[in-house]
């Protein structure tokens, strides 16, 4: 089972790992696309980037140093609502090992990376215009590198950027059945944490839904894939809601 996560705009600074080596990343079939993306980023840096605010200046510095900056595991590099709810740094060793085996993150710069892959800070999203490249052309075939059942927790934008054949999308709704937007990220992060702590294994959407039922997780089969029921974090301390 693979759990697909989107990246985040925000990233932790620093790191203690050696500088980026694409040969050390998972999914070596993406090597050519990664080289093209990094070369395009070099051209973007050379052309000059916007440094008009402190945040933009930091982003420009991260991009300029992407080949030489220290690295850290991807699961620790990305921050924000989803990753805060997952809180991989606080997982017990067995659960952390589960994350490193099962979680795959989609980077706009590096394609699919495994949770434990060492990556630098950077500022490239699906909206970034890389000189001489088109994001969709770079990653259109990247999904073919992934094998087996894929639980897709990515945003629609990233799912369209790099389609994964057979991936099962997860719809996030409130206990009243209403779709959630921003707050679904916390629910997704909490779901991954729950899966990791339980050491969940499944080879299909039906098998995962059956397992979730016995485990008391509000993840159910739906027409289009799977449906996750979550509590709004503004009204509950628990991101993943209990069954009614």
Q: Is residue 241 part of a domain?
A: no
Task: For the chain, 244 residues long, give each residue's pLDDT as a single digit of tens.
Answer: 999 999 999 999 999 999 999 999 999 999 999 999 999 999 999 999 999 999 999 999 999 999 999 999 999 999 999 999 999 999 999 999 999 999 999 999 999 999 999 999 999 999 999 999 999 999 999 999 999 999 999 999 999 999 999 999 999 998 888 877 767 899 999 999 999 999 999 999 999 999 999 999 999 999 889 999 987 655 544 455 433 3
At residue 180, the pLDDT reads 73
What are the Cα distances from residue 123, in Å, to 11, 199, 202?
9, 33, 34
Q: Is residue 242 part of a domain?
A: no
**Structurally, how many domains does the chain consist of?**
1
Q: Is residue 235 part of a domain?
A: no
Q: Is residue 236 part of a domain?
A: no
Q: What is the pTM of this model?
A: 0.92
Query: Where in the sequence is the domain holding 38, given as residue range(s)?
Result: 2-229
Q: Is residue 152 part of a domain?
A: yes
Q: What is the DSSP string of 180-205?
A: -STTHHHHHHHHHHHHHHHT---SSH
Q: Is residue 177 part of a domain?
A: yes
Q: Is residue 244 part of a domain?
A: no
- β-strands 225-229, 219-222 pairing: antiparallel
Q: How far apart are CA 66 and CA 61, in angstroms?
A: 9
**Residue 74, phi then psi, degrees to nearest 5:** -55, -40
Q: How far apart are CA 27 and CA 80, in angstroms?
A: 25
- β-strands 2-5, 103-107 pairing: parallel
Q: Is residue 13 part of a domain?
A: yes
**Sheet strands side by side (includes 219-222):** 111-114, 103-107, 2-5, 150-152, 168-173, 225-229, 219-222
- Residue 35 in tokens: 């080289």
């Amino acid at each position: 089972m693979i759990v697909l996560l989107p990246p985040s705009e925000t990233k932790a600074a620093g790191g203690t790992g050696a500088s980026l080596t694409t040969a050390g990343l998972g999914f070596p079939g993406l090597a050519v696309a990664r080289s093209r993306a990094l070369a395009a980023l070099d051209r973007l840096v050379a052309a000059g980037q916007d440094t008009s605010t402190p945040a933009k200046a930091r982003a420009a510095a991260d991009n300029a140093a992407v080949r030489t900056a220290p690295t850290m595991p991807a699961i620790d590099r990305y921050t924000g609502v989803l990753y805060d709810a997952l809180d991989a740094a606080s997982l017990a060793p067995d659960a952390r090992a589960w994350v490193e085996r099962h979680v795959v993150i989609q980077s706009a710069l590096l394609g699919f990376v495994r949770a434990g892959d060492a990556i630098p800070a950077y500022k490239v999203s699906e909206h970034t215009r890389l000189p001489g490249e088109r994001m969709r052309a770079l990653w259109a075939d990247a999904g073919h590198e992934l094998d087996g059942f894929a639980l897709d927790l990515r945003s629609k934008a990233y799912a369209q950027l790099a389609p994964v054949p057979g991936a099962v999308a997860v719809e996030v709704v409130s206990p009243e059945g209403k779709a959630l937007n921003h707050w679904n990220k916390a629910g997704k992060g909490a779901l991954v944490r729950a899966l990791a702590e339980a050491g969940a294994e499944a080879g299909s959407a039906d098998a995962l839904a059956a397992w979730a039922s016995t485990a008391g997780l509000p993840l159910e089969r739906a027409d289009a894939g799977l449906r996750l029921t979550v509590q709004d974090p503004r009204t509950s301390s628990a991101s993943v809601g209990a069954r009614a």
